[in-house]
Amino acid sequence: MAIATLIAAGRLDDRLIDRALGLLREVDSQASFAQWIDDGDAADLRFTGDLRQARWALSELEGLDLFVQEEEPRFRRLFVADMDSTIIGQECIDELADYIGVKDRVAEITERAMQGELDFPGALRERVALLGGLEVAAIDQCLAERVTPNPGAKTLVQTMRVGGAQTLLVSGGFTAFAEPVGQKVGFNRVKANVLGHSGGRLSGLVEGGIVDAVAKRETLIEAREAAGLRPADVLAIGDGANDKLMVEEAGLGVAYRAKPPLAEVADARLDHHGLDALLWAQGIRRKDWVQAG
């Protein structure tokens, strides 16, 4: 059996559910209402049949978030997330570049890289080179002034941890941002790039290997195998082309406000709600959420 979860916080009513059932019955004539997860916010429909066909049939629905998946496993035991423009609302390298007067140049390269138009390692090195000479103290200033978690991030991560899941923040950005963000949001572990510096200023170089799309996927696989989990036990989320391999590797791969290259391959898109909607996707009622500040 499979589940289609409809999420439309404060707006989900019988009319919308009936419309969804009508569309889903094009795939399975016996599709039925399964349960309210939270009245008026999220509900499950049950069906049998091809998941892709069901997603296509339900794609006519607008203004809601939709998750189509096998009924089991529902709760994912490993959560892997991108950071910039996913767990947080900013691209840290763009914001940091503003402190040295090159934000427009860096942001243009970032956007093209996230659209999949540029080789990620080369684009990263080009952007980091533009930061050369910036005082390292600007990182803490940027963190304090500009970097904020996206709505629902803390609640999502901390609720999953209470449920027994491992949580991993894997970023093509930098440890100088990812480590404090990971600690603030509640991740178990962080993997990101290292900004080179000397004499209190950035060197304009990346130290060590680069966390690109391949490295993100490999990190997910390593974490999954270390925990003895199946691919189906993994939930991954990102927003750009650099997240494609990671999202495809997960049992449930989600595109968050995503660029087209990622949205095209993801199992689901989260376009209308905060990150905590991923708890509804896992069948977790609001009363059981960790309401993080």
Active-site residue numbers? 82, 84
From CA 13, how far away is CA 23, in angstroms rounded? Answer: 16
The closest of 273, 289, 290, 293 to 67, measured between CA atoms, is 273
| Cβ-based burial of 135 (10 A; exposed 0-12, middle 13-18, buried ≥19) | middle
Residue 144, classified by CB atoms within 10 Å of its CB into exposed (0-12), middle (13-18) or buried (19+), is exposed
The 10 Å Cβ neighbour count of residue 246 is: 27
Residue 39: phi and psi, rounded to 5, are: -55, 130
Beta strands 201-207; 189-198: pairing state: antiparallel
Would you state the structure tokens that stand for residue 10, as one six-digit string?
């404060």
Instruction: Measure the CA–CA gap between 248 and 251, rounded to whole angstroms.
Output: 8
